[in-house]
Amino acid sequence: MSLVHWAILSPFLMAIFIPFFRKYLRGIHTGWFVLILPIVLFSYFFPFMKDTMNGNPIIHTAEWMPSIGVNFTAYIDGLGLLFALLITGIGALVVLYSIYYLSKEKESLHNFYVYLLCFMGAMLGVVLSDNVIVLYTFWELTSLSSFLLIGYWHNREKSRYGAQKSMLITVFGGLAMLAGFVLLSIMTHTFSIREMIAQVDTLPSNPLFIPAMLLILLGAFTKSAQFPFHIWLPDAMEAPTPVSAYLHSATMVKAGIYLVARLSPIFAGSSEWFWIISTFGIVTLFWGSFSAVKQTDLKGILAFSTVSQLGMIMSLLGIGSAALHYGSNNNIYLAAIVAAIFHLINHATFKGSLFMVVGIIDHETGTRDIRKLGGLMTVMPISFTLAAIGAFSMAGLPPFNGFLSKEAFFTALVNATTLDVFNMETFGVLFPIIGWVASVFTFIYSMILVFKTFTGKAQFDKLDKKPHEAPIGMLISPIILASLVIIFGIFSNILAPSVIEPAVASILPSLLDGGSNYHIHFEYFHGWNAPLFMSIGVIVLGTLMFLTLANWTGIYNVFSKRLTLNNLYDKGLVTMERSASKLNGFYMTGVIRDYLVIMFAFFILAIGSSLIIKNGFAFDITHVAPVRLFEAVLAFVLVGGVATTIFAKSRLTAIIALGAVGYSVSLFFVLFRAPDLALTQLVIETVSVALFLLCFYHLPKLQKKEKPMRFRLTNLIISLGVGTIVTLLAISANSTRLIDSISSYFVENSYKEGGGTNIVNVILVDFRGFDTLFEITVLGIAALGIFTMIKLRLTRRKEG
pLDDT in tens, 545-583: 999 998 898 888 887 777 788 888 989 888 998 998 888
d(CA 239, CA 146) in angstroms, rounded, equals 9
Confidence (pLDDT) at 516: 47
Q: How confident is the model at residue 707 (pLDDT cuts 50, 70, 90)?
A: low
For the four alpha carbons of 419, 424, 425 and 427, in that order, the dihedral sign comes to: negative
701, pLDDT greater than 80: no
Confidence (pLDDT) at 65: 86
Name the residue among 487, 477, 484 with its Cα closest to residue 357.
Answer: 477
Name the residue among 219, 526, 518, 515 with its Cα closest to residue 403.
Answer: 526
* 341, 230 Cβ separation under 8 angstroms: no
- Give the up-direction half-sphere exposure of residue 345: CA atoms within 13 A in the CB hemisphere: 29
Confidence (pLDDT) at 510: 61
Confidence (pLDDT) at 648: 82
The percent of residues in the chain predicted with pLDDT above 70, rounded, is 94
Listed in sequence order, the DSSP H helices in 509-564 are 530-547, 549-552
Q: How confident is the model at residue 13 (pLDDT cuts 50, 70, 90)?
A: very high
- Domain ranges for the chain, please list them: 278-547, 555-588, 592-738, 743-800
pLDDT in tens, 132-191: 999 999 999 999 999 999 999 988 899 999 999 999 999 999 999 999 999 999 999 999
Confidence (pLDDT) at 174: 94
Q: Which residue type does 573 have?
A: L
Q: What is the mean pLDDT of residues 687-711?
A: 71
Q: What is the mean pLDDT of residues 20-47?
A: 88
Peptide bond into 399 cis (omega under 30): yes
25, pLDDT greater than 50: yes
Q: CATH: 1.10.3450, 2.20.28, 2.20.70, 1.20.120. Which one for 592-738?
A: 1.20.120
Q: How confident is the model at residue 741 (pLDDT cuts 50, 70, 90)?
A: confident
Confidence (pLDDT) at 584: 87
499, pLDDT greater than 50: yes
The percent of residues in the chain predicted with pLDDT above 90, rounded, is 50
Q: What is the mean pLDDT of residues 70-90?
A: 94
Mean pLDDT of all residues belonging to the chain:
88
- 3-state SS class at 613: helix
Helix (H) and strand (E) counts in the chain: 34, 2
Q: Which residue type does 724 have?
A: T
416, pLDDT greater than 60: yes
Confidence (pLDDT) at 732: 87
pLDDT in tens, 655-684: 889 888 989 999 988 888 888 788 888 998
Triad 89, 93, 98: Cα angle to 5°: 145
Confidence (pLDDT) at 147: 94
Q: How confident is the model at residue 795 (pLDDT cuts 50, 70, 90)?
A: low
- 3-state SS class at 69: coil
* 194, 219 Cβ separation under 8 angstroms: no
CB atoms within 10 A of CB 50: 10
704, pLDDT greater than 70: no
